[in-house]
Chain A
Amino acid sequence: MSMRLRDLVKCAKAAGATVEEPTRGSHWKVTVASKSYTIPCHNGIKTEVSDIYINGLCRCFGWDRHRFINGLGGSDVARGSSTTDSSLGVAIVHFPGDAFGLATLCSVGGATAPSWNSVSCPRCTALRSALPENAE
Chain B
Amino acid sequence: MPIGAKTMRPESETMTRVYDLWVVAKPAEDVPGEWVAHCLEFDVVTQGRNARHAFEMASEAVAMVISDDLKASRDPSLRRAPKSFWDELYAMIPRAKAIDPTNRETVLETVKASEVHALFGQMQVAFRAIPENYGEEELNVPALWCSGGAATDAAAFS
A→B interface (CB under 8 Å): 1-2, 25-27, 29, 31, 34-38, 40, 42, 48-53, 55-57, 59-60
Contacts and interface: CB of A to CB of B under 8 A. Distances in A.
B150 interface: no
A38 B82 contact: no
18 contacts: A1-B30, A2-B28, A2-B31, A27-B57, A27-B64, A34-B74, A36-B68, A37-B65, A38-B44, A40-B57, A40-B61, A49-B31, A49-B47, A50-B34, A53-B36, A56-B38, A56-B45, A60-B43
B74 to A, nearest CB: 7
Contact of B49 (A2, A25, A36, A42): A42
B60 interface: yes
A38 B46 contact: yes
B47 A53 contact: yes
A73 B47 CA distance: 24
Nearest to B71: A34
A57 B69 CA distance: 16
A50 B30 contact: yes
B64 A52 contact: no
Contacts of A60: 43, 79
Interchain residue pairs A-B with the least CB separation, the first 9: A56-B45, A50-B28, A38-B61, A36-B68, A2-B30, A34-B72, A40-B46, A53-B45, A52-B36
Contact of A26 (B57, B68, B72): B57
Q: Is the interface of B mostly helix, strand, loop or mixed?
A: mixed
Contact of A52 (B28, B53, B57, B74): B28
Interface residues of B, number: 27
Contacts of A55: 45
Contact of B36 (A26, A38, A42, A50): A50
B40 to A, nearest CB: 11
Given A53-B36, A59-B82, A60-B79, A27 B45 contact: no
Nearest to B65: A36
A1 B65 CA distance: 25
A35 to B, nearest CB: 7
B121 interface: no
Contacts of B82: 59
Contacts of A29: 64, 68
Given A2-B30, A34-B74, A36-B64, A27 B46 contact: yes
Given A50-B36, A52-B38, A59-B43, A38 B64 contact: yes
B57 A42 contact: yes
